[in-house]
């Protein structure tokens, strides 16, 4: 009998939850508790950390979880690493639903870098209008270049004071090309900083940058451990169905 744990928090995870609910598979959906009002799911939902690898392993045993699906974001590296370790420790079959990174298209002007500090270094010295589309958790290093006029985009309104003067757009996405073009034009955005999240939910800013001929400082994904991974919800359903047939 399958009892799946979905490590969620992304658009793909929501699509998977809908399929799993429709198939009548017993499952729990898990959010990390990063946003005030995460989207409702058609499955029993838990919110918050497990307490590291041991916390997740205990949860798996206590809840009788038989399959773990890591459908978190490509930058949720700590959660993904913990899931690999906890599933190895408990011998729990697991799979990652991981969308492919965006790749440069003709006309794209990307500066590809490894991390946020390199992104700050890649910005020019001369003051410019900069759009930081990397969320709330990693904006502090940009205080190193206060000469720029920053536009930030958060899911929730900022609770604490920002580390530098900036204008905050509060929006959870997904975003449309029209809205991104309008926002970049009216704000005279000259530089965009993004993470290579992949997927459709946030790629509109990349298409808008291409259309406007703007440079994108693109932060590459963190390294993740070797693991079984697929790119589509149907692949996860097949894996579950397969497991169910074999009675795994």
Structural contact between residues 180 and 207, judged by C-beta atoms closer than 8 angstroms: yes
CA distances from 89 to 131, 157, 174, 225 (A): 42, 39, 36, 15
Stretch that binds ligand 3Y8, among 135-143, 185-193, 225-233, 238-246 (CB under 6 A): 135-143
Whole-number minimum distance, CB 166 to ligand 3Y8, in Å?
A: 14
173 interacts with ligand 3Y8 by CB under 6 A: yes
Residue with Cβ nearer ligand 3Y8 (138 or 229): 138
Tokens of 71: 């459908």
Residue with Cβ nearer ligand NAP (10 or 66): 10
Cβ burial, residue 4 (10 Å; 0-12/13-18/19+): buried
42 interacts with ligand 3Y8 by CB under 6 A: no
**Residue 65, preceding peptide bond in cis (omega within 30° of 0):** no
14 interacts with ligand 3Y8 by CB under 6 A: yes
172 interacts with ligand NAP by CB under 6 A: no
Host H or E run for residue 153: strand 149-154
Q: Which of 150, 130, 138, 108 is nearest to 222 (CA)?
A: 138
**155: CB partners within 8 A, 6+ apart:** 34, 35, 135, 136, 170, 171, 172
Stretch that binds ligand 3Y8, among 27-35, 100-108, 209-217, 232-240 (CB under 6 A): 27-35
x-or-dash pattern for ligand 3Y8, window 205-244, by CB under 6 A?
x---------------------------------------
Residue with Cβ nearer ligand 3Y8 (38 or 215): 38
Q: Which does 148 bind (CB under 5 to 8 A by kind): ligand 3Y8, ligand NAP, none?
A: none
The residue from 14, 41, 82, 92 that contacts ligand NAP (CB under 6 A) is 82
x-or-dash pattern for ligand NAP, window 18-37, by CB under 6 A?
------------xxx-x---
CA–CA separation, 225 and 113 (whole Å) = 20
Which residue, chain included where needed, has tokens 């799993």? 20
177 interacts with ligand NAP by CB under 6 A: no
CA–CA separation, 213 and 193 (whole Å) = 14
Which residue, chain included where needed, has tokens 């590459």? 220
Binding site for ligand 3Y8 (CB under 6 A): 9-11, 14, 31-35, 38-39, 133-138, 153-156, 172-175, 195, 197, 199, 201-202, 205
């Amino acid at each position: 009998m399958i009892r799946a744990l979905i490590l969620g928090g992304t658009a793909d995870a929501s699509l998977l939850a809908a399929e799993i609910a429709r198939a009548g598979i017993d499952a729990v959906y898990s959010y990390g508790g990063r946003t005030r009002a995460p989207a409702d799911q058609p499955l029993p939902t838990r919110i918050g950390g497990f307490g590291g690898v041991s916390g997740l392993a205990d949860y798996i045993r206590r809840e009788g979880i038989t399959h773990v699906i890591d459908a978190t974001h490509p930058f949720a590296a700590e959660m993904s690493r913990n899931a690999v370790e906890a599933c190895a420790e408990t011998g729990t079959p697991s799979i990652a639903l991981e969308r492919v990174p965006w790749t440069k298209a003709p006309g794209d002007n990307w500066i590809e870098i490894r991390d946020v500090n390199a992104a700050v270094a890649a910005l020019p010295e001369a003051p410019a209008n900069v759009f930081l589309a990397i969320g709330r958790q990693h904006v502090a290093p940009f205080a190193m270049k206060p000469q720029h006029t920053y536009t930030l985009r958060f899911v929730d309104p900022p609770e604490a004071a920002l580390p530098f003067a900036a204008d905050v757009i509060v929006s959870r996405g997904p975003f449309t090309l029209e809205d991104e073009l309008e926002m970049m034009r009216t704000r005279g955005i000259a530089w965009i900083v993004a993470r290579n999240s992949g997927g459709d939910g946030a790629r509109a800013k990349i298409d808008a940058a291409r259309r406007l001929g703007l440079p994108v400082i693109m932060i590459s994904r963190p390294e993740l451990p070797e693991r079984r991974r697929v790119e589509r919800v149907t692949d996860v359903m097949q894996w579950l169905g397969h497991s169910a047939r074999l009675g795994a």
